[in-house]
């Protein structure tokens, strides 16, 4: 009995590691995933090395050079690769520093949501009872409100700010992780390897940490990859409405908001932030699809 239990427990410990890696993708899916990785690597590098790559500070105002066209366009100047905005600020520099805001908000908010949601889902699914009922009703209550409207309502009361945006987007996104994790745990808690762990005297904390949690991470990772894109769009939407980061902090949503008044006169003010936002979100979604395909056992051999 003990030997069989140990075998079952040992089998569960490597469950997540037996998933297929991204390297098994073939054909167009592999090319798309590689292209998405390249785009995200370039955006991340530009964000991290923004002070070294940009020729101007993002907040430097130069009225004499306002609304200068991109360097390669008619009327452009060599010192401003993507032109300047209505205050003479360099668009390329603001794009690079704006990438910092988008990536920071996206990753930080998803981590907060994931940690809260997975923890609550583990406990609710494993123990059940009244705690499960309370957590699920809270999740239903949150999911009943549109995500962006809930964030707008909270930020309208708290005011704009980078930390506030991260906190609000993180605390309003935990429900999907909680429900997904709970559904996984409900099936795992009655499996043989969990029963075997109980038989050999493993504590509840050890069972959850070593045998249940690793086997719930694959779908959580997939959901998180898609959520990063959603949070980036949410941050851009809030900044566009003036409820995100302060105007002094460059962000893609803020650049779109400021540039819409000059759309006919200075097309580059909205074109480049829009392209950066689209390419980043598209790349994250493509990479999320690749991760889902790699971790889905039903697609083995396809």
Give me the pLDDT at residue 62, please: 85
Give me the pLDDT at residue 27, please: 65
For residue range 136-152, list pLDDT tens digits in order.
999 988 888 777 788 88
The answer as to whether 270 is a domain residue is yes
The answer as to whether 143 is a domain residue is yes
CATH of the domain at 270: 1.10.3720.10
pTM, two decimal places: 0.83
Give me the pLDDT at residue 195, please: 79
Extract the tokens encoding 236. Answer: 């851009």
- Please spell the DSSP secondary structure of the chain, one letter per residue: -HHHHHHHHHHHHTTGGGSPPGGG--HHHHHHHHHHHHHHHHHHHHHHTHHHH-SS-TT---GGGTTPPPTTSTT--TT-TT-B-TTS-BHHHHHHHHHHHHHHHHHHHHHHHHHHHHHHHHHHHHH-HHHHHHHHHHHHHHHTS-HHHHHHHHHHHH---HHHHHHHHHHTSHHHHHHHHHHHHHHHTTSHHHHHHHHTT--HHHHIIIIIGGGGHHHHHHHHHHHHHHHHHHHHHHHHTT-SS-TTS--HHHHHHHHGGGTTT-THHHHHHHHHHHHHHHHHHHHHHHHHHHH-GGGTT-
The answer as to whether 20 is a domain residue is no
The answer as to whether 137 is a domain residue is yes
The answer as to whether 252 is a domain residue is yes
**Based on the structure, what is the number of domains in the chain?**
1
The answer as to whether 18 is a domain residue is no
The answer as to whether 199 is a domain residue is yes
Mean pLDDT by runs of 10 across the 302 residues of the chain is: 45 44 61 89 92 86 87 80 89 92 93 94 88 90 81 82 89 90 86 80 81 85 90 90 85 90 88 94 90 67 48
From CA 137, how far away is CA 154, in angstroms rounded? 20
Domain hosting residue 230, numbered range: 2-11+44-299
Give me the pLDDT at residue 20, please: 46
Give me the pLDDT at residue 38, please: 93
Give me the pLDDT at residue 228, please: 92
The answer as to whether 139 is a domain residue is yes
| Residue showing tokens 């002070």 | 51
């Amino acid at each position: 009995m003990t030997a069989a239990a140990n075998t079952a427990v040992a089998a569960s410990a490597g469950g997540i590691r037996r998933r297929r890696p991204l390297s098994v993708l073939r054909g167009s899916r592999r090319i798309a995933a590689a292209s998405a990785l390249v785009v995200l690597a370039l955006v991340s590098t530009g964000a991290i090395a923004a002070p070294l790559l940009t020729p101007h500070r993002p907040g430097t105002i130069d009225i004499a050079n306002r609304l200068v066209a991109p360097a390669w366009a008619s009327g452009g100047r060599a010192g401003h690769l993507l032109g300047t905005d209505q205050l003479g600020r360099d668009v390329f520099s603001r794009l690079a520093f704006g990438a910092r805001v988008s990536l920071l908000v996206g990753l930080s908010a998803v981590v907060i949501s994931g940690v809260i949601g997975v923890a609550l889902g583990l406990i609710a699914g494993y123990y059940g009872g009244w705690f499960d009922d309370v957590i699920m009703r809270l999740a239903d209550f949150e999911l009943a409100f549109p995500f962006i409207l809930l964030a707008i309502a909270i930020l309208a009361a708290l005011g704009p700010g980078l930390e506030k945006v991260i906190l609000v987007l993180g605390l309003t996104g935990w429900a999907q992780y909680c429900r997904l994790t709970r559904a996984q745990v409900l099936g795992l808690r009655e499996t043989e390897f969990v029963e075997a762990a109980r038989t050999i005297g493993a504590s509840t904390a050890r069972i959850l940490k070593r045998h249940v949690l690793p086997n719930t991470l694959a779908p959580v990772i997939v959901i998180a990859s898609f959520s990063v894109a959603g949070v980036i769009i949410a941050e851009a939407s809030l900044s566009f409405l003036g409820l995100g980061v302060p105007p002094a902090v460059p962000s893609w949503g803020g650049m779109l908001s400021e540039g819409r008044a000059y759309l006919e006169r200075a097309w580059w003010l909205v074109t480049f932030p829009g392209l950066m936002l689209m390419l980043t979100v598209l790349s994250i979604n493509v990479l999320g699809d690749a991760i889902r395909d790699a971790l889905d056992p039903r697609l083995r051999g396809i």
